[in-house]
Each structure stands twice: as C-alpha cells, then as structure tokens.
Chains A and B, each alone.
Chain A
Amino acid sequence: MKTIQEINEKIRKGKAVIVSAEEMPDIVEKEGAKKAAEKVDIVTTGTFGAMCSSGVFLNFGHADPLIKMQKVWLNEVEAYTGIAAVDAYVGATELSLDRGFEYGGAHVIEDLLAGRNVNLRAIAYSTDCYPRKSIETSITLDDINQAILFNPRNCYQKYNAAANSSDRVLHTYMGTLLPGKRNVNFSGTGELSPLNNDPEYDIIGFGTRIFLGGAKGYVVGEGTQHNPKKGFATISVKGNLKEMNTKYVKGGTVAEYGTTLYIGIGAAIPVLNEKIARNTAVRNRDVKVNIFDYSVPRLSRPVLREVDYETLFSGEVDLGGVKAKASSLSSLKIAREIVKELEDWINHKEFYLTEKLEGLPKEAEFKPMRISEKLVSVSRVMTREVLTVQENENIEKVCNLMIKRGVDQIPIVNKDKKLRGIVTAWDITKATASGSKKLSDIMTRKVITASPDEAVDSVSRKLEKYKINATPVVDNEGVVVGIVTLSDINKFYRRGR
C-alpha cells in the first residue's frame, strides 16, 4: 500500500518510477501484481481524438460605452451569451454562418489558441447601464480576460465502432462509412485510454489533475451521458486555454457531418496497491466494444459483432465473411506523445498527483429522451394505391400513364409485385433522346426505398439527400406496398405532425 503523498514525495526527490499503460501489462504478467505495485509508482495514460462536447467560456472585457451582449459571433460562429454582459461560451460543434461545415466553434478555439485574430460581432438591446446596441472588433487570446476550456463530456472510456451494411455511402459522426460493411471506424486508444486503466474509478474523479490540451487541467466530475454500468464512463474537464498547445487542441471537420474539437487528455494513475496494478495491466484484447450498423438511422442500431481493440488496431475486422478495413478516428501516435510528455512533466517536478475529492458515480443511468409524441411511420403518410408497371411494358404506354395519372415516376415490379426498378419522367426523356425502346434499358435498378415502419423523418432525409421526389415503400419481401412522395411528407409536416 502506498499513498498519493508518498508518491508525490518520490516525485519531489526525482525517484518516482513511471511506466506507460502500454508497458504495464507485461510488467504485471512477468512479476505479478503485488511486485508490480511495489515497483511501479505511476502509470501514464492518454488519448487524443474528436470530442464534440467541448467548448470555451470567454470573457471579452467590458466595452466603452458598455454593452450587454444578446447575441455574439466569433468569425461568424455563434457563441452562447445568455450569461452576463460580456461572457460567452463557444461550443465546438456550432457551425459558422458563412462557411458551414468547413469552419465551426472548434476552429475558433484553435484560431484563438494559435494567437490569430478573431472577428467579434455582437448585438444587444440597450439599457440604462449598458447603452450600446452593437459592436464589431477583432480580438486575440491575449486581449481577453479568461478563456476557460470547459468540456461537459470528454475522454470516453471506450466507444462503440461503426460500419454500414447498406448499399450507399454514409457520412456520420463516426466518419465516412462505405457500403457493404467495407470499413469499420472506431474511436479511443484502448489499453492506453485513461478510464480503461481505472475501470472502477478509484483514482479519477472530481479534483483529479490531468494533462488537458498540453496544460494542466482538472476533472470536474462525471461527464454527460456517463454510463458506468456498461463501461462507458465519461468525465467533464476544465483547463486554461491560454496555457494550452495547438498540437493537442485542433479544430476538425467530419465530412458532411460537422465540426468537432480534437483534444488530448492524459492521466497519471498512482499505483497505490495490487488492485490498481492489475487494473492498469489491461490489454487491448480485454477492451471490448460492439460494432453497430449505422445504416439504421434509429436510436437502437443493430449490433454486427463484438470486437476488441487489438483486432481494431490490427486494421482488419471480419464482418461475416467481409474483411472490413478498420480505421481509427483517434490518434494513437499523439496519445503516446501525450503519455511521454506527461512523464516528462513528472520527471521535471512540474506535475504532482492529486487525491480526488469525489468519485465518479458508479450507478448512473443513461436514459433516452422522453418523447411525448408517438413516432410516425411511413405507412401512415404513404399513398397505398400505387401505380406500377411490369418490366416488359412499352415506353410509350408508360409515358401516357404518367401524363394521365399526373405522376413523375412509376415503380417497376415483377409478377409478384416485387420491386425491380423505377422509371422517372427524366428517364423517359433520355430514352427519347437516345432512341431506346425497352423499359428495362432505361429504368433505374438501384432504387432508394423505404420500409413501412420507417420513421417519416428518416425518409424525408433520404429524399433530401438523394434529391428525389418519391420513394417506393417495400415490405420485407420486397413487395411494393405504397409510395411516399415529397408532397405526402410536406403535408404531414404542415399538419403539425
């Protein structure tokens, strides 16, 4: 048994034995947990990855004449200023008005940290004490009073991986997912991740000093969506942006999804006893997560399989016969650099360990949102009497049908009413231009479809994404049971759902 005070004393004397979380498993395996606990004082851990729930509290200082900001934009990214006159919180995922996905709150944070000028624009209602109604100026990090990085949810213990079984590319917060389960994207650093080395939260809790973005920071409690029962703990952290380093704080864009902040976090785990030695001996193969199928746009996505981080890091995962390439959204290389830097700090007596003041909750529940309205499925808004034709129909007749019935597209089915394709007015125009006579030559075979129990919101997204006006609704057997058009959906939204 050791105490944190004793380990700090060793740091002071330059005698603390520090190993990384990647080295510890071998030490414990070779020498046993008891001996390892005697020999090793500190295990360093780290992670570097996209952490969306991040942002910075800023205090701009008072203007003369005074302004009580009501709305504020930093490089055209809105920050929340519903807190006092010149305080604001810029969140990582807020998108800019002018550049959309390309630039957001995370980039503002990186620009500030890099010492670049940031345009500040604010509007206000005027009061006797704050008469000014608008302001526009340029600021740098040095100009403002405080820039406190305060992240409500960081440093997930581990994170479920993602794949896509559909036949189309998906752009998700887990990156670009190729069709046919061709790739698996994952996040986290496995055995190097801080919370995986402290799975019972003996060490990390409120008040724990950590490496945060290249500076000293603190854990200020559990993170949002903290889910300890399933091994998905999170922490909320705080640090001084002014002391941080752009190497470990970077704004990024996840393609066609949005902006996020990449941030580096490290924790030094004091090896106080045998149990902690055993916990820090965790290996990548012991850390298991599920691979979810993101082709289902619902809260509960199907699990494709369970996988450990050793397999994920190998770069290839077997997904039912398909060899999927696994790639990480976190950087193991930078995580290792964080671990090394943390060790250097301790060796240079710049970083001492703290006793936590409160532990992270072990029983917290992670609940879904309570939604008072019922989910509306496509079957409620679709048109059931759908006009279909068979593949061998002649184009002229299809043409006349379209005109007579006032439709722009007709699903093509076989004898059993199973969907074979779709033909649109545009296909017919092209057929006329190229002189094609057969429907089977001009129809689209790869059809975007909806299922009867699919949520209206998800079908609405499909129509928007693929720029189509309608999609056939097919049941599990592939039989066309209806069609849902843009106008069906618009009617539904106009009714107020």
Chain B
Amino acid sequence: MQPEVAIDLPRPAAAAAPLLEVSGVTLQYKTKEHLVTATYRVDFQVYRGDRFVLLGPSGCGKSSLLKGVGGFLRPVEGRIVLNGREIDRPGPDRMMVFQEFDQLLPWRTVRQNVLFPLLASGRLGRAAAERRAAGYIEKVNLGKFAHVYPHMLSGGMKQRVAIARAMAMEPDILLMDEPFAALDALTRRKMQEELLQLWQDTRFTMLFVTHSIEEAIIVGNRILVLSPHPGQVKAELNSHQLGHGSVGSGEFLSLQDRIHGMLFAEQVEQDEVGHHG
C-alpha cells in the first residue's frame, strides 16, 4: 500500500486570482408544484489546477451548483464569474461530464463524438480537430474503439469517451456531475485512478460533484461540504495530500470521520426537529 500517484503538489502562487468565483449564489428551480431553493448564498473559489469537489447528501444542491456554473441554471441571487466573465449561458468553455451514460450522441462513433464539439464550436479546423481527438481518445485508452458506436461500449468506456470529449475541448474548467456514480466499484476505482493520472499529465481544472466521502477525498484537493435543504456551505477542507495510496491511513480515516460527522450531525439535528415538530 504505497502511493502510486503522488498527489501532493505545491500550490501555484496563492496570490493568483481565482479562475472561478461563486459569490452569494442562490439557485432556485421549479417543479410542477413547488419552487425549490436548491442552494442559499453559496460562496467558493476555484483556482487554476484545482480538483475542487462539491460534496454533500442528496438535496444539498451540488448538482444545481454545477448546472449553475454550466450556465443551465441562472442564479436568482449572487454571481458566478469565470475568468472575469459572468456566466449567463451554456458554452464550450465549460465542458460537462454527466452521470448518465446516454450523454454521448448515439448516432456518432467514439471518434465522431469527441470530434463533434471541436468542430461544432468552431474551435479547431478539421485536421487539427482530428489530431486532437485521436490524442485524447488514446489518452483514455480507447484507441481500439475509436470507430465503434456508443451502444457497443460498457458504462465505464462511455464515461471515458465523455471525459475525452470534454478534455479535448481543453475547456477553462471541467464540470463533472457524479461521473462515476453509476459504475461498479472496481471500474469506479480504476476510473478515479485514470482521472488522476490524466490530471497529472495535463493539469486541467475541474469541479467534481459527488456524494461519496471517499471519492471526494481521493479525487479532490479541496472539498466543499454542503448541508442539505437548501444547500449551504458547511466547510471547505483540504485533501490534496490524500489519494488512493492513503486509503485506510490514519489521516485519511480521520478526515473521512470529520466529514462524516459534519454530514451526520446535520441528519441528527433534522431528525430531532422532526420529532419535536
């Protein structure tokens, strides 16, 4: 049990301005009967090269926050600023990887799926796009499957394609909405390792949503813990020193317990309120 990937990296000069600045963001969405407040005045900053994790139980608005950054959901209060520009619509500078396997276009092969956003957004010319797509498909170890349609791939492979597609755009920030949640435990672990390896290679910035404490600690270098109904910031913790290699170590377990305590305490409080009311 020794660390395979050295996750511990000195932060770039802390004086650098944040890449993404979320300040006082309240998000609301409508269901058929209700107006639901998903998050209430959430603040956080993501710096270039961060693997920033939004962690919380279901109903804490972490996915809504990601959709807000993606431009799919307008905040009713507060601002989301990326690279000094306020976000007002979806765009290819923030590529999203979803949990669902049906995010790939079924009528395009793996290669065409990776190629499509590059061409559709007019980011690259044909030849350059082809080269870059091939490179990223190779990076996620799908070179042999480049000409296969998505329905013939396993869940893990589909997620790899989605990651390759997002990374090939070389966006300012990668938005990952529980990308490994629907995978089996073995595949999930493998994908986490590959993702960290990719990060080692290219040092992208990502915002990663999960409800798994373990995944948050392994994948992230900084964890934003959110409380549910509505989502509010509970804590921001560091986990850059921890990775796959440190699972089960004292430091890992104590951080896991700390986060568990934060989320669990909330649960107890709520239960008590429920009993009294």
A and B from one complex: no
